[in-house]
Amino acid sequence: MDPRLYEAATSRSVDRIKKRIDRIKERVDDTSRRVDSIKEHIVCIKEHNDRIKEGNGLIKKRNGLIKKRNDLIKKQVDIVKELKKENPNLLLGVTPVLENTILHLAAKRGCKDLVKEVCKQCESLLAMTNSKGDTALHIAARAGHLSIVKFLVEKSTSGSSFIDVE
């Protein structure tokens, strides 16, 4: 028993007993609120951990997709090399309507490895324009692929091909 409650009970003061009981009830209520707050906090922590697990799963999925994309780009690079061996003129082919070359398409999609390989296999594609007068450099710049833009500018200024870099 609470010593102060016992003291109030033995003093036979009803008011003191009521005050003491009220204080005890307040402490119980306060403790109960703290317990509820802790329970809510635990729920939040569990939800946070679930989100972290979900995020980790999404990161793994993203990494898997990046690996697949890189594998596909490698296959495209291998196809370009094979085309060059079998029939170099195939690299000079263009798409219908816009007349984009393989270099235009690689630059538009941001496939830097493919852009490098195409330039290595057929440097003359650097200067080729499509039906709108755009080179692969223009396409890459418009698509926001800065690393490809830098590569194409460097390649055009250091190589034998000349392209308009303005």
Mean pLDDT by 10 residues, the chain (166 residues): 69 79 91 94 96 96 94 86 80 82 92 90 90 95 96 82 51
CA-based nearest residue to 114, from 73, 158, 55: 73
Helices (H), the chain: 3-10, 14-86, 102-109, 112-121, 136-143, 146-158
Joined together, the tokens standing for residue 147 give 């690393």
Contact (CB, 8 A) for 127 and 161: yes
